[in-house]
Amino acid sequence: MNRSSRPAPLDATAASRAARFPTDSAMTARFLSDLAGACPGVAVSDEARIEAGRDWWPLSTVWAQYGQVPALPGAVCRPGSPGEVAAVLALCASAGVPVTAFAGASGVCGGSLPVHGGVSVDMTGLDGVIAVDPDSLLVEVRAGTFGPDLEAALRAEGLTLGHWPQSFDLSTVGGWLACRSAGQYSTRYGKIEDMVQGLEVATTRQGLIRTGGTAPRSATGPDLNQLFVGSEGTLGLITSATLRVHPAPATDMRAAYGFDSFGSGLDACRRVLRRGATPAVLRLYDRAESDRQFAVTGQALLIVVDEADPALVRAVMAVVDEEARAGGATPLDPGLADTWLERRNHLPPVADLVAGGLVVDTVEVAGRWSELADLYEDAVTALRDLDGTIAASAHQSHAYPDGACLYFTFAGRRSQPGPGAAESYYRQAFDAVTAATTAHRGAISHHHGIGLNRARYLPAALGPAFAVLQAVKDGLDPDGVLNPGKLGMADRFGTVSVP
Ligand SMILES: Cc1cc2nc3c(=O)[nH]c(=O)nc-3n(C[C@H](O)[C@H](O)[C@H](O)COP(=O)(O)OP(=O)(O)OC[C@H]3O[C@@H](n4cnc5c(N)ncnc54)[C@H](O)[C@@H]3O)c2cc1C
């Protein structure tokens, strides 16, 4: 994978004239000069602005087909130090200019799109490991560090972070934290919010602040780390993080099972977690995906991988085996787990599918075990009932003692050419899964986040607590310049009409 890749090619000349979210992105010479003073290396070329104006939101691939870039900033800067990030934020706040961070740009919800123009801040200049404390199993790392670089530095010390999002090669520490990312091994190692011990954050009014980072646990008021984790660049920009790491695994084991139904497989997963076993990977595919991805027909395929100390792995795999058999599963060739491992980071051919007239995406949600099977049935049925749907399926991708993530995939055929019909189908698909999730008391996102795509749902999803989020935003970013238009919060620059 190429770290700076985007899902579809885009002609720079055409795209610079056609933004899907048009805005007046012109900046005064005076502001650009002040910006260059705060952060050397400001770029205003069409190429730089276009690359900052798009991410992996699958709708961008539809727009790219028509020569449209999602959004265009007025300028792009690439700070090389936390102080430069803080200086850019202070400048934008005092000038009332929108300021939006991007890093790997692998986000799939439009979170890094500068929908009101302004300054795009490329966080990948803040790169590299600052310190490793192998006794305490901690690493301090700059926010713009990509997955492979961090993991290579840790492996050299006999350690691992254990965070393996499918976008591992494309994404950064800061992006993971900003979006509450989940790696494929999360059942053993946790999500990124479980890994964070401390943060350094640049804010618009308080400059650089540090949260946590001193001790394994504390009772020093609310956990301010978690205020910024998941805030998607709307409250402050993360410049570095202290993360919990693990000894590199001494061994791994793999297994595969086939269940009569997705529901019986879910129940076995529930019982595995309930007994305290935490296999790194416990992934259950519905019949459609088992067939499509693994040529396993008429069964729901469970892929199991664990890695850790050998005694732990043996115990965990024994629990999985007992519960799978108790659920009526047939043991299948463990080579299926090898197949999954080989293919797990393959990029989806979104551009090819869109070129073929399809609209495709995935929707990841979370629910408690007592609702999960019904949530699955209702969401898949709602997707299949939409005009144009040709495929709707799901797998359970991350499991916990109290519930799990369901990862839906949909594909629909556009009723007519042009972006309008694609946007309409796409919106209906997200509405369908979100409504089913809400009806079953689930979380409308498990790890992709909110960004622009789900902004319309967040006020209702949080209920009265949404006012608390807005109050925090108003306190930390009183000028309202940080990533405006996202998370459904008040937007001083106007309303963005999202497809
Ligand atoms: C093929 C593919 C597979 C994926 N698989 C997974 C997966 O398995 N698990 C998963 O969790 N996600 C996955 N994603 C989604 C995406 O990779 C994650 O959301 C990732 O965390 C984004 O990181 P990034 O560096 O690319 O951030 P960007 O896309 O550049 O930014 C995402 C958001 O974070 C903000 N941001 C970025 N850096 C900072 C910072 N330093 N401080 C504050 N805010 C910041 C941006 O403003 C934006 O709102 C996948 C994406 C793709 C394309």
Give residue limits of the domains in the chain: 12-124, 129-247, 251-343, 350-439
Is residue 15 very low, low, confident or very high in pLDDT (cuts 50, 70, 90)?
A: confident
CA 184 to centroid of ligand 1, rounded, Å: 15
Q: Region 224-228: what's the mean pLDDT?
A: 98
Contact 476, 207 (CB under 8 A): no
178 CB within 6 A, ligand 1: yes
- Closest ligand 1 atom, residue 483 Cα: 47
- State the distance from the centre of ligand 1 to the C-alpha of 181, rounded, in angstroms: 7
Q: Which CATH class is domain 129-247?
A: alpha beta
Tally: H helices and E strands in the chain: 19, 17
Q: What percent of the chain has pLDDT over 70?
A: 99
Atom 5 of ligand 1: nearest residue by CA position: 166
Point out which residues pair with 395 in neighbouring strands: 285, 407
Q: What is the largest CA-CA distance in the chain?
A: 71
Please write the tens of the pLDDT for every residue from 430-455: 999 999 999 999 999 999 999 999 99
Q: For a substitution probing ligand 1, which of 163, 171, 187, 481 has the most ligand atoms within 8 Å of its CB?
A: 171
Cβ neighbours, 10 Å, residue 96? 12
Q: Give dist(CA 491, CA 499) in Å, integer.
A: 17
- Identify the pLDDT of residue 93: 98
Q: Which residues contact 135 (CB under 8 A, 6 or more apart)?
A: none
Question: Locate tokens 């807005």: which residue?
Answer: 470
Q: Residue 448: CB within 6 Å of ligand 1?
A: yes
For range 282-307, the mean pLDDT:
98
pLDDT at 117: 97
Q: Is the CB of 60 under 6 A from ligand 1?
A: no
- DSSP code at position 248: P
Q: Which two tokens stand for residue 46?
A: 């069409």
Q: Which CATH class is domain 12-124?
A: alpha beta
Cα separation, 366 vs 368, whole angstroms? 7
Q: Which of 125-134, 346-355, 410-419 has the lowest mean pLDDT?
A: 346-355
| Residues 412 and 361 sit within 8 Å (Cβ to Cβ) | no
Query: What is the pLDDT averaged over residues 292-296?
Result: 97
Give, using CA atoms, the residue closest to atom 4 of ligand 1.
167
Cβ–Cβ < 8 Å for 444, 457: yes
- Measured in Å, residue 56 CA sits from the centre of ligand 1 at 9
Give residue-wise pLDDT tens across range 179-217: 999 999 999 999 999 999 999 999 999 999 999 988 999
Q: 359 and 427 in contact (C-beta within 8 Å)?
A: no
pLDDT at 40 over 60: yes
Q: Would you tell me which CATH number, out of the four given (3.30.70.3450, 3.20.20.150, 3.30.200.20, 2.40.50.140), belongs to the domain 251-343?
A: 3.30.70.3450
Mean pLDDT of 77-100: 98
The whole-number average pLDDT for the span 18-44 is 93
Q: What is the pLDDT, as a whole number, of residue 10?
A: 85
pLDDT of residue 296 exceeding 60, the answer is yes
pLDDT given at position 106: 97
Q: Is 241 in the pocket of ligand 1 (CB under 6 A)?
A: no
pLDDT value of position 498: 83
Q: How confident is the model at residue 1 (pLDDT cuts 50, 70, 90)?
A: very low
User: Each residue of 311-354: pLDDT tens digit?
Assistant: 999 999 999 999 999 999 999 999 999 999 999 998 878 888 99
* Mean pLDDT value across residues 75-84: 98
Indicate whether residue 166 lines ligand 1 (CB < 6 A): yes
pLDDT at 343: 95
Ligand 1 touching residue 362 (CB < 6 A):
no
Structure confidence at residue 41 as a pLDDT band (50, 70, 90): confident
Architecture in CATH of 350-439: 2-Layer Sandwich (3.30)
Q: Say how far apart CA 101 and CA 193 lie, in whole Å.
A: 20
> If pLDDT is split at 50, 70 and 90, which confidence band does 3 have?
low
Task: Indicate the SS3 state at residue 206.
Answer: coil
User: Which pLDDT does position 327 carry in this prediction?
Assistant: 98
What distance in Å separates the CA atoms of residue 44 and residue 377, rounded to the nearest whole number?
Answer: 49
Mean pLDDT of the chain: 96
Determine the distance separating the centroid of ligand 1 and the alpha carbon of 262, expressed in angstroms. Answer: 29
167 alpha carbon to ligand 1 midpoint, in Å?
A: 8
The confidence score (pLDDT) of residue 315 equals 98
C-alpha separations of 224 from 130, 408, 473 in Å: 22, 32, 14
Say how many Å lie between the CA of residue 283 and the centre of ligand 1: 22
Closest atom of ligand 1 to CA, residue 239: 41
Contact 58, 350 (CB under 8 A): yes
